[in-house]
């Protein structure tokens, strides 16, 4: 059995939140957060389960609060989106948990793993379906494709004069953001929650300046050429990622990895130029 990684995933928050619970099961790890936005709140359960080791009994059962379970369950079953029809033990357990608790399993648009299986899932309960938007993020980091969950909460009451500045990463930059943050994980202090949180916030600020606002590119002549090449590479990687999800096989995976390597190389050019300026 494979060992669970020291950090199976990460969640970057820009809203007020609190940690409600951590798992104590070695094979099924999760962090349950309650995030408050505007006039409402939602509970998010970030999940990782070792292959064959899913223990759904460790999850906090759904309550009157809306909740979303998202992550790598290592669970395969055609009833929860595996296109190959493969069923494994964790898939059977997860399907039983979904049916017993009346959860909704959202479409991830196909394969989420480099080998072609649908191992990652988004499950919700108590959310307004019309306000939920789920999708895959075609940025292959590690051996999985990222998942995206968007949910609209009620608007907040009239804001006070003093509000906190928040950074919003536009959708077209999110695949790049995931790749960027993933490369930083080995350099972060994972043993101190306060330092980890601060590092993630600082890194998000740096990413926003480097890739979204990009004042350093605007100041240089010829930067538009590199900018357009990055945009083209992002589009190509996205299309290759979608092709792999629809038809997971060695050829589509290879094309996806090549397109992503091209994108990363261009991103490094921007980083190198910034270091010289």
Does the global pTM surpass 0.85?
no
What is the pLDDT at residue 97?
A: 93
Query: What is the pLDDT at residue 256?
Result: 81
pLDDT at position 16 is: 66
Q: Which residues of the chain have pLDDT under 50?
A: 1-13, 159-163, 219-223
CB-based contact 222:210 (threshold 8 Å): no
pLDDT at 91: 92
Domain ranges of the chain: 16-159, 181-276
What would the DSSP string read from start to end of the chain? -PPPPS--------SEEEEEEE---SSEEEEEEEEEETTEEEEEEEEEE-TT---GGGSPPP-SS-EEEEEE-----GGGT-TT----HHHHHHHHHHHHHT-EEPP--S--BTTS---EEEEEESS-GGGEEEEEEEEEETTEEEEEEEEPPPPPSSP-S---------GGGHHHHHHHHHHHGGGS-TT-HHHHHHHHHHHHHHHIIIIII-HHHHTSTTHHHHHHHHHHHHHHHHHHHHHHHHS-SHHHHHHHHHHHHHHHHHHHHHHHHHHH-
Domain 16-159, CATH homologous superfamily name and number: Endonuclease/exonuclease/phosphatase (3.60.10.10)
């Amino acid at each position: 059995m494979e060992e669970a990684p020291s950090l199976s995933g990460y969640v970057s928050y820009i809203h007020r939140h609190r940690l409600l619970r951590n798992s104590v099961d070695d094979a099924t790890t999760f962090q349950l957060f309650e995030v408050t936005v505007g006039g409402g709140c939602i509970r998010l359960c970030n999940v990782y389960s070792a292959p064959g080791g899913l223990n759904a009994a460790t999850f906090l059962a759904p309550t009157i609060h809306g909740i979303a379970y998202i992550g790598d369950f290592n669970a395969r079953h055609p009833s929860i989106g595996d296109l190959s029809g493969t069923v494994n033990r964790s898939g059977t357990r997860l399907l039983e948990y979904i049916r017993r608790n009346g959860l909704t399993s959202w479409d991830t648009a196909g394969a989420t793993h480099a080998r072609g299986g649908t191992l990652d899932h988004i499950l919700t309960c108590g959310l307004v379906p019309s306000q939920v938007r789920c999708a895959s993020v075609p940025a292959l980091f590690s051996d999985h494709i990222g998942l995206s969950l968007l949910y609209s909460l009620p608007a907040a009451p009239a804001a006070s004069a003093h509000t906190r500045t928040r950074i919003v990463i536009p959708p077209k930059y999110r695949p790049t953001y995931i790749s960027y943050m993933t490369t930083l994980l080995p350099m972060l202090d994972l043993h101190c929650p306060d330092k980890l949180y601060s590092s993630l916030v600082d890194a998000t600020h740096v990413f926003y300046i480097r890739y979204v606002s990009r004042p350093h590119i605007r100041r240089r002549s010829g930067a538009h050429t590199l900018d357009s090449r990055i945009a083209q590479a992002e589009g190509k990687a996205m299309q290759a990622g979608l092709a792999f999800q629809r038809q997971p096989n060695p050829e589509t995976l290879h094309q996806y990895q090549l397109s992503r390597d091209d994108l990363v190389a261009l991103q490094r050019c921007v980083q190198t130029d910034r270091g010289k300026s």
